[in-house]
Chains A and B, each alone.
Chain A
Amino acid sequence: MARLIKTEKEVEGRYSEQWVVVEEDALEQWPEGPLRTVGRPATRVDGLARARGEARYTQDIQLPGMLHAAVLRSPHARARVKQIDLTPASELAGVRGAVGPGELDVLTDEPNYEGEAVAAVVADTADHARAALEEISIEWEVLEPLLDVDQALARESFLSDPKLYERGDIERGFAEADVVVEAEYRTQSVLHNALETHQTICEWEGETVNVYTSTQWLWGVRDEVAAAFDLPKDKVRVICRFMGGGFGAKGSAGDYTMIAAELARRTGRPVHCRLDRREENVNSGNRNPTIQKLRLGARSDGILTALSADYVCLLGWDGWLPPTAGPVQMLYACDNVRTVEYGVRLNSPPMDAFRAPGFVEGTFGLECALDELAAKLDLDPLELRRRNHADHDPLDERPFSGKQLMECYRRAEPHWERRHEVHARADGPWKHGVGIATQLWYGGGGPPSYAWVRLAGDGTATVLTAMQDIGTGTRTAMAQIAAEELGLPVERVTVELGDTAHGPYAVVSGGSSTTPSMGPAVRAAAGDVARQIREIAAQRFDVEERVLSLAEGKVINADGGSWLLEEITGLLEDGQILGKGARGPNPAGMRVMTYGIQVAEVAVDVETGEVVVERIYAVHDIGRVINPLGAESQIEGGIIQAIGHSLSEQRLLDPRSGKVLTRTLDAYKLPTIADVPEIVSELVDVPDAHLTNLGSKGLGEPPIVPTAAAIANAIRDATGADVRSLPITREEMLGALHEADERRRVPERVGAAPA
């Protein structure tokens, strides 16, 4: 029976309550450990298509008669258009239309950051369109941008109200502390730089618009386009079968989609609007910089008595306040906590979610400060973390739905113990060290999410759901889940996704929510089919349904006999067995999180400031693992992005003009294959007993969370220097070494700041 319930929904740490209708979830969780297909390494079902260059990404789609749009973006961080005339551009040969401020919501004549869209032209080729932009006659009044964070704070230029959180009595907490650590940490802005840039092709068919777009969320784009063009939602069809990376920045429709839709409507032809790499680096979102002031108090036995943190998040002109205080609030048991988060609005390009937004930044500050505390307490950093383990959610005393963090700590122990031999590697100016950091993040997913499964007469199954595979391997994971439930080899399952017209509603591929949201729905749909197969077989062969099970492509009778699945489905010839499944609710009154710890080994050249990451060990708890091979890739990918975040990546803004200086992949330093250390990873792989019929959580984000802090802590272990600002460039490193030298010369009193 369908049940109407109110459930808590979480995406990237943002909670909301919503009504959902859930079907009774009749399926028990599978037993722990690798099964026939689930829990065993599977190569990607779409791997060949991608590797052979057959997979068609949005960028590869060429529709007959397709035109190309180019966008005039503000060259100024803050300005007003005094006069604009599109005519000279529209009159050029090959140009088919133009649109300016006042004609479309995403176009403005008062841009508030560099790159904000002002006008667009559409032409026969992308070159024609770009050339035509040059001909638009425009007169600017350039205004003074607000770029200085102190000034912004003084003027209270906030995107939303500052967020205050308090529990216990922070003053009493510090009074009870034997040791206090106080420090400021800074993190930089980094750019997503997915290799496929943001882009959309729109094509109208009567009252329907087909939107081919590189997106992490088909349904979100559908809703935005429907609202913008005042269409019934299902008159917008959104398609993305192969997607070239998102990392958080492709969660919404974007100006390029609206521009393509409008120009396609006007010209009656398909229109492609594609950001080039330079636009991508200015205008497609970024991880916002933070300034963090932390104060930690602990008793001499290491028990935390007070945590206080002020976060200034430089969001840019738009966006939202990510949960930067999350780790301080939730990672450790501490009675007295106070956090304030300011979301500062500046005339710089808007932030967007970037793989574990907020927690990456917040974990860097907290986990570095914790090691500084451990040093003062002369306590083993791993032991300090164990002593402050949160047995239940410190926010509201809720039980955690499943938490294997202590097991992660136990498995990390031998890697942490390597530090003695690592120290011994010191050679000339090269010092070696080991550091750890703990990971906490969401990743439980939630309803609504649906899937259908159809089983054909030849005994092959197709999973239909309008979700996306953004490169995380969800197609493969869904195929494994359906195969497991149907007792089929994975080769006999096809997953059709990426089209809102071909399958039911699915969750955003963000917030590590895809597998935990979609997996249970797919399993339920396959379970629905499996039940029908047993019912049909029972009637056909005159046996009791409860003695039948599905395995190895057969229906197996408890007495040992079996029939090939095709013997049953074949009866129907072209008839199909159809199943549907919905994601059930999250466990009421429980907090669902993911956990882990990473151990970094680094080498630092104390003369030049060069830092080399030599090894990362990672262990995470994400409940049941569906595909260990894909999971390992996710972990490696997250860690490699984190190494870029830690050491080389940084969006540079000109402090006076607010223009982005790092616009190319030459100027913006992504990690290359030569920057990759040895990465050793494992997953605890114990299903979360309370979470859905699967017990699985998401893994997209956890691996990127603790790496930067682990690296900084390893640097302290190697050199005694406190690096508190990302990225750890040579300059930053040499500065920290210099400070450490100074400190050694003027020894501090042990016990430091008075409590």
Chain B
Amino acid sequence: MVVELTINGNAYELEAPVGRTLAEVLRLDLGLTGTKIACGEGHCGACTVQLDGVPVLSCITLVHTVGDREVTTIEGLREHPLVEAFVEADATQCGFCTPGQIVTASALLAANASPSDDEIRHAMAGNLCRCGTYPKIERAIHTVAGDGGGS
């Protein structure tokens, strides 16, 4: 079945069987491997992308349900100030969760330019990091929000 997608501002038309997930299309068909798969069942946030700016889990999003919503992946956010902020704050250890964290955090900042600690924790709680970069993630988000750190 043919599917048309807009990903990071680029239009794609490709063949995808029913049941194919957005994550599979991104990673396997388009080589956009910045989106990671850590559980494949909606429990960890590593595969987070945005649909019209809203974070969704691409591993449990069927590609045929995307419709005309704009897909944004980490590849489309490479110049986002959060990327630099994550590096500066050392918010990436093994880095496997990091793209997903940045995708979620950028959606948060787009909706709320200076989130409180609680708002950050609420928005980011679905993105697991086994290395434990959480304090640095909070710091990175605060830096970009320009409020110089949490309470």
Contacts and interface: CB of A to CB of B under 8 A. Distances in A.
Contacts of A197: 38
Interface in A651-687: 664-666, 670-674, 676, 679
Contact of B94 (A56, A193, A196, A674): A196
Contact of B122 (A43, A243, A674): A674
A31 interface: no
A320 to B, nearest CB: 23
A630 B94 contact: no
A420 interface: no
Contacts of B5: none
Contacts of B128: 195, 665, 670, 672
Nearest to A48: B87
Contact of B130 (A247, A633, A674): A247
A633 B83 contact: no
In terms of DSSP, what is the predominant structure of the interface of chain B? loop
Given A48-B83, A60-B27, A472 B130 contact: no
A317 B125 CA distance: 36
B27 A52 contact: no
A242 B88 contact: no
A665 B135 contact: no
Contacts of B135: 636, 676, 679
Contact of A195 (B96, B121, B124): B96
Most chain B beta-carbon contacts within 10 A, residue among A247, A276, A633, A641:
A633
Interface string B122-137: 1011111111111111
A428 B91 CA distance: 37
B94 A640 contact: no
Interface in B24-78: 27-28, 31, 33-41, 43-44, 46, 73-75, 78
Interface in A279-296: none
A547 B84 CA distance: 41
Nearest to A473: B93
B86 A195 contact: no
Interface in A32-61: 43-44, 46-57, 59-60
Given A62-B28, A633-B133, A637-B133, A195 B94 contact: yes
Contact of A277 (B39, B95, B96, B99): B39
B90 interface: yes
A629 B93 CA distance: 11
A665 B39 contact: yes
Given A196-B94, A245-B130, A471-B95, A62 B31 contact: yes
Q: Give the size category of B's interface with A.
A: 35 or more
A242 B99 CA distance: 14
Given A244-B95, A673-B121, A639 B90 contact: no
A470 interface: yes
Contacts of B84: 48
B97 interface: yes
A633 B40 contact: no
B93 A242 contact: no
Nearest to B92: A50
Given A57-B96, A244-B96, A673-B127, A665 B90 contact: no
A632 interface: yes
A471 B131 contact: yes
B44 A52 contact: no
Nearest to B39: A277
Contact of A640 (B33, B90, B122, B132): B132
B130 A193 contact: yes
B43 A51 contact: no
B22 interface: no
A249 to B, nearest CB: 11
A674 B86 contact: no
B151 to A, nearest CB: 11
A11 interface: no
A195 B95 CA distance: 9
B144 interface: no
A638 interface: yes
Nearest to B124: A673
Nearest to B121: A674
A740 interface: no
Given A59-B37, A637-B131, A47 B90 contact: yes
Given A633-B136, A640-B132, A51 B99 contact: yes
Contact of A673 (B41, B75, B87, B120): B120
Contact of B92 (A51, A54, A193, A277): A51
Given A52-B34, A639-B132, A673-B137, A242 B87 contact: no
Contacts of B92: 44, 47, 50-51
B143 interface: no
A195 B132 contact: no
A194 interface: yes
A60 B35 CA distance: 9
Interface of A: 43-44, 46-57, 59-60, 62, 192-197, 242-245, 247, 276-277, 470-473, 629-630, 632-634, 636-641, 664-666, 670-674, 676, 679
11 contacts: A51-B98, A51-B102, A53-B74, A53-B99, A59-B33, A195-B46, A196-B94, A277-B39, A277-B40, A640-B134, A673-B127
The 7 nearest A-B residue pairs measured at CB: A53-B34, A471-B94, A50-B95, A637-B132, A640-B132, A244-B96, A47-B87
